[in-house]
Amino acid sequence: MKLSSILALASTALAAPLATRQAITDADILQFALTLEHLENVFYKGVLDKFKKADFEAAGYSGAYYTNLEYISHDEEAHVELLTTSLAAAGAMPVAACSYSFPYTDIKSFITLSSLLEGVGTSAYLGAAPAVQSKEYLAVAGSILVTEAIHTSLQRFTEGLVAPVNPYGTALGANEVYTLAAAFITSCPTTNAPLPFMAFPSLAASTAAGHIYDRAQEACFSTKATLPSTPLFATFVSGLDITSVPATVTGSTISATIPDTADGQTYVVLTNANATMSVMDSSVIAGPAIIEVGAPYPTRNDSILRR
């Protein structure tokens, strides 16, 4: 099954009941982080239960790579334990793990999905950082972010992608992350605290996961969301760049030209406004979709060596 098919469920498969609250607290952010860490913890434990070292070696991957997966799984478990302890110490009831459905069928599709999930996790921590009030919590979140970024690099490299394709990390808003995470969650314990986030209508790329686009290439998407007659933009979020380009609707297909600011794992949201510095939730119609954009060969500038 294409990843885009699974992501299309995001508009109906919600992680927990939505709460209507004005202010997002540090506890909310930690609960959301724990929700994501539970997902990753179950994801890696599941693949290590399903496939053994010999299976990876038979598929062409080294025993050393399998060992790295065992360490990644341990990392995610440690993140769950730390966040659970922190929330309990703060007087909150930590959310428990949910039930999940992950669309991988073999080792190769697992690696592709893992690369995407790790990228989303890294983007989630980076996007949440400005909202964290406690310097202690921020330091912990920064430490986890570094580890998630290391996981992302390993999986990208193993997948055959350039690991450091973008000079900068890509931040993603909580509602965008929630939309993506909800696609893999089938149900959660009723005792879990409701999260103050909402899932946008899903946006699916027309290509299967693993496809690499080029800059200036036309990318096509689909959504069940109601589209405005005008204006309509495909807003690409990549690294420090947020670029909106006009989107064209032909039947059920939405197309837009990939800007030259997109590199690597790129998030695309449909918006009713031209976004520049940030994507306002009020402007989002659907998304994000995830696409991979190949970067041009790196340049070199020796003039910065001269003083």
Residues 232-262 pLDDT 10s: 999 999 999 999 999 999 998 999 999 999 9
Tell me what the mean pLDDT of segment 267-284 comes to: 93
Sheet holding 248-250, edge to edge: 204-205, 218-222, 253-257, 248-250
Tell me what the mean pLDDT of segment 106-111 comes to: 96
Residues 299 and 296: their CA atoms lie apart, in Å, by 9
Specify the pLDDT at position 282. 92
Residues 215 and 193: their CA atoms lie apart, in Å, by 42
pTM of structure: 0.90
**Crossing angle for the helix pair 63-89 and 135-159, nearest 10 degrees?**
160
Query: pLDDT digit string (tens) for 166-212?
Result: 999 999 999 999 999 999 999 999 999 889 999 999 999 998 667 89
Specify the pLDDT at position 23. 76
Phi then psi dihedrals of residue 266, to 5 deg: -125, 140
User: What's the one-letter identity of residue 3?
Assistant: L
Contact 231, 265 (CB under 8 A): no
HEC assignment per residue over 194-230: CECCCCCCCCEECCCCCCEECCCCEEEEECCCCCCCC
> Does the pLDDT at position 22 exceed 70?
no
Residues 141 and 135: their CA atoms lie apart, in Å, by 10
Specify the pLDDT at position 242. 96
